[in-house]
Structure 1
Amino acid sequence: MRHPEYQYLDLMERVLEQGDARVDRTGVGTRSLFGAMLRFDLSEGTAPILTTKRVYWKTAVKEMLWFLTGGTNLQPLLRENVRIWTDWPLDSYRRETGEAISQEAFEQRIVEDDAFAARWGELGPVYGKQWRRWLGADGHEYDQIGTLVQTLRENPSSRRMLFHGWNVPELGQMALPPCHMVYQYHVTSTGRLNCLLYQRSVDLLLGAPFNFVGATALHLMLADQAGLTPGELVWVGGDVHLYQNHLDQAREQLTREPRPLPRIALTRRGQGIDDYRIEDFTVEGYDPHAAIKADVAV
């Protein structure tokens, strides 16, 4: 059987060779394809943590756990040494104040100064807010994740087991509108939980590897809560792109042979979907190639 990671590498190669050259929101420019699908089988405990470069899987899992809190402020992430959201509030701070503060100094102030964090660490109503506290037109807040867990337990044949983050009235208030925006779930007659994740915009080099890990971690937690077995993760990309300043890094990654995928597991059953911590996840057998550095386009 062909290594599952080749799905990702083949997609990267197609973007490099056939991608449409586009001017994007960031001004960096991309090569882009529209519409892609990858499928990963989680049933044997393997995880789609890429091996052709090191993926910092704990960072991705911590981000997913933060989403599940419903939080929208940078401070808890930085206290967990997760820096992947800093670029947007830092850019806003520099533009609004004119202060040429370093990223390290900005992050330190967010961590240490609660008042500064409240003013400058707020990301707006991003993922977690929509997942756990969607504000409806009726003025009520809706917990999409809580409803999903309940439906998985009580009505697993439902075709309405999904959540999403594209809350149109609140998009303008978000530091970044949701990229991985719709998660739909399906339970087989044998008790396997499948997930289809639709991602409208895909930074293929930096973003997608984290999204695979985050979706896998969530998949395990949901299966655990509903007494199900993890099945298939189906990933669907809309605008799949490589930034122009990522092309050399992509070419380097394509020269590397995939290694065996690692195994991921939960060490205990959570009392509820909010009860998981990073210490509850174990990854074994991860032996990746070296990390590949690239800048985030803001």
Structure 2
Amino acid sequence: MKAYLDLMQDVVDNGFDKGDRTGVGTRSVFGRQMRFNLQDGFPLVTTKKVHLRSIIYELLWFLKGSTDNTWLTERKVSIWNEWALENGDLGPIYGKQWRSWQCHDGRVIDQISEVIEQIRTKPNSRRLIVSAWNPAELPDESISPQDNVREGRMALAPCHCLFQFY
């Protein structure tokens, strides 16, 4: 928790104010990194209310490879509702990128299965990375999330663009 609070203080003291797609604005610092050894516990923010059940269901949903918000709403998780089409579609967001990354040559890569196999066979590799940042499917910020989905793009660009095992 101290690392998070230190980062927040850094943002307050050294951050730059910028506009954003929401119109609210953002204060940020560039390039900070946080690292957590999960053997020491789960790095959950405790300075604000966190809906752990929603976090767990959302992660399971990503890991299933789903991009259909219906599965979440059936479990009373509403965090994606405002960006989904009426049928629940959110376009090629996290689940698709993690489990069904489309290559230009037609291959499909299941990044989760591949990184698990790499952890087993090459645990010291520096390439134990899963990415959700697919430039070919990023949304056009000049149109609505729903219109992006209708055009085959992500409803929203990924906030968590990658994670790495080290």
Comparing both chains, which one has the higher relative contact order based on Cα–Cα distances under 8 Å and sequence gaps of 6 or more?
A: 1
Distance 1:33 1:126 in 2: 25
How many residues were matched structurally? 153
| Deviation (angstroms), 1:165 | 1.3
Deviation at 1:155? 2.2
Q: 1:148 aligns with which of 115, 136, 155?
A: 115
Partner residue of 2:125 out of 158, 178, 183: 158
Structure 2 CA distance for aligned equivalents of residues 51 and 167 of structure 1: 32
Report the TM-score when normalising by structure 1.
0.49
Q: Percent identity?
A: 46
Report the CA distance between 1:128 and its aligned residue: 0.6
Which one-letter code corresponds to 1:157 in the other structure? N
5+ residue gaps, structure 2, are 140-152
Q: CA–CA distance in 2 between the matches of 1:152 and 1:11?
A: 30
Q: What SS does structure 1 have at the residue aligned with 2:164?
A: strand
Rg larger in 1 or in 2?
1
Give the Å deviation of 1:41.
2.8
Could you list the structure 1 runs, at least 4 aligned residues long, displaced by more than 4 angstroms after superposition. Answer: none
Q: Which runs of 5+ in 1 are unaligned?
A: 94-115, 187-298
**For the residues of structure 2 that align with 1:183 and 1:70, how far apart are their CA atoms?**
16
Q: Which residue of 1 aligns with 2:97?
A: 130
CA distance in 2, matches of 1:170, 1:84: 21
Kindly indicate whether the alpha-carbon contact (under 8 Å) linking 1:49 and 1:57 is maintained by their aligned counterparts in 2. no
1:4-56 deviations in whole A, cap 9, x for unaligned?
Answer: x1211122122223321211121111222112122323214x21112222212
Matched position secondary structure for 1:174:
coil
Q: Aligned letter for 1:73?
A: D
Pick the structure with more strand per residue: 1
- Aligned with 2:7 (options 5, 11, 17): 11
- SS state at 2:46 partner: coil
Shift of 1:79: 0.9
Alignment of 1:101-250 (within 5 A): 116-117=86-87, 121-172=88-139, 173-186=153-166
* Structure 1 residues 218-297: aligned runs within 5 Å: none
The 1:158–1:18 alpha-carbon spacing in structure 2 relative to 1, beyond 3 Å, is closer
**CA–CA separation in structure 2 for the residues paired with 1:41 and 1:72:** 30
Name the structure 1 match of 2:147. none
- What residue in structure 1 maps to residue 144 of structure 2? none
